[in-house]
Amino acid sequence: MNEQASRADQSTMGWRLKAGIALLVMSVIVPIVGISFVSGLNLSETMVTTVSGAMLIGAELLGVAAVAVMGKPGFLYIKNRVFGFLKQYGPPKEVGRTRYNIGLVMFCVPIVFGWLSPYGADLIPGFIEYPTSYAVIGDLTLLVSLFVLGGDFWDKIRALFVWSEKVSSSS
């Protein structure tokens, strides 16, 4: 009898998990595709804004419904799979000196460039014509630098926001 109940729970969880994943995927796709579609229609700005806002609210509601359909076990399963994947490809705890120095350069250059570019925009080739390209490249470089720097750097960043943290020198 317990075996039959266990099989019933697994089959119930199976369809609930699949339905929850479908709702979760829809909650991501609907605003991306829907807002792009509505923006392309010949509607007034007010109507485009209203429909886009409704789609965003609907997407949030779909996300909540996905969690409700999956239940706690399904949500924990998805969460563990996603974080397991990210942890597998995340930054290593410790990195060598050369990699750390390269990461620091990758981290600092976009920040300094972002501060200085408004003052010297006419000196930077193509910046005035394509400022978004420079912004995207800078943002991606900054993001990649966090992975190049490794896990110890994340601890250093975290320490900036914790009042009780103390700096310890290992050298």
- Which tens digits make up the pLDDT trace of 16-72? 888 889 999 999 998 889 888 888 888 888 998 999 999 999 999 999 999 899 888
- What is the amino acid identity at position 123? L
Per-residue pLDDT at 100 exceeds 80: yes
Q: From CA 154, how far away is CA 88, in angstroms rounded?
A: 16
Measured between its terminal Cα atoms, the distance across the chain in Å is 64
Per-residue exposure over 128-157, b if at least 16 CB sit within 10 Å of its own CB, e if not: eeeeeebeeebeebbeebebbbbeebeeee
Q: From CA 23, how far away is CA 64, in angstroms rounded?
A: 9
In three-state secondary structure terms, 14 is helix
Per-residue pLDDT at 6 exceeds 50: no
The closest alpha carbon to 37, from 16, 55, 25, belongs to 55
Per-residue pLDDT at 160 exceeds 90: no
Half-sphere exposure of 132 (CA within 13 A, CB side): 0
Per-residue pLDDT at 104 exceeds 80: yes
4-15: average pLDDT: 54
Q: How many percent of the chain have pLDDT more than 70?
A: 88
Per-residue pLDDT at 87 exceeds 80: no
Confidence at residue 2, expressed as pLDDT on a 0 to 100 scale = 45
